[in-house]
Amino acid sequence: MIGEPLPLAARIRAVANAGFPGIEFWFPHQFPMDDLARLVGDHGLEVALFDLEPSASHPYGHVADPHAGAEFSIRLDDALRLAERLRCRTVNVLQGGRLPEIDLGVQMRVAIDRLGEAAPQAANAGVTLCLEAINSIDRPGSFCDRSAIGLAIVAAVGSPYVRFQYDIYHLQLMEGNLIRTLERNIDLIGHVQIADPPGRHEPGTGEVNFPQVLATLDRIGYRRWVSLEYWPTDPLAHDFGWLPVERRR
């Protein structure tokens, strides 16, 4: 999202020059893998997270569709190979879409079983699988559109290699109550993403008190990645003035 108008090399260089230690992106196969691995290494960056590849039949993922187990396994195998190559330790499994012909509880059970089966494979690779809630305002038909659904699935799996991906933008739109949810569930959260609603732009452009959110993460002992997943109001500015340099690492 940040730096999208730029070529890959310029985007990675801009991240490094701004003082950030890592990058994340949606789908790794959108980039030449040799170039991506080289550029990340040359700039001393880490890959914080990427997403499992979707498919034409499941553009939002396979984890909660009872008929998509084989497709999920293929994409998980591919993602873990790429994670090893990129030295990435967190992968977003993509939560998939709501199937109206199937009860929500059944879909949750499918996700629990599928992630439970995947957890030992992820553990062997040293990779944490994250399940993200996606708001159903921007994306009608999301299966997991509230933190309660995702957290219940993660808790039921019961593996340290399966965690909830807490996206401030999506969950402020759906439910708010950000700080209390973080405080009560931090042990189940494996990745945090930030953008300011309603425009999904940089912090300070919307309704969330991000200094308070970031201070809360510090206070409750969160020590994993906090990623910037927003559309900059100026796509070419690369202005991170809202975040002091000392907070970028």
Rounded to the nearest 5°, which phi and psi values hold at 184? -80, -20
Distance separating the N- and C-terminal Cα atoms of the chain: 20
Residue 149 CA neighbour count, 13 Å, CB half: 25
Q: Tokens in use for 166?
A: 């807490």
Look-up of token digits 């992630």: 115
Which amino acid belongs to residue 101?
E
For the annotated catalytic residues, the residue numbers are 132, 229
Report the C-alpha gap between 192 and 171 in whole angstroms.
Answer: 11
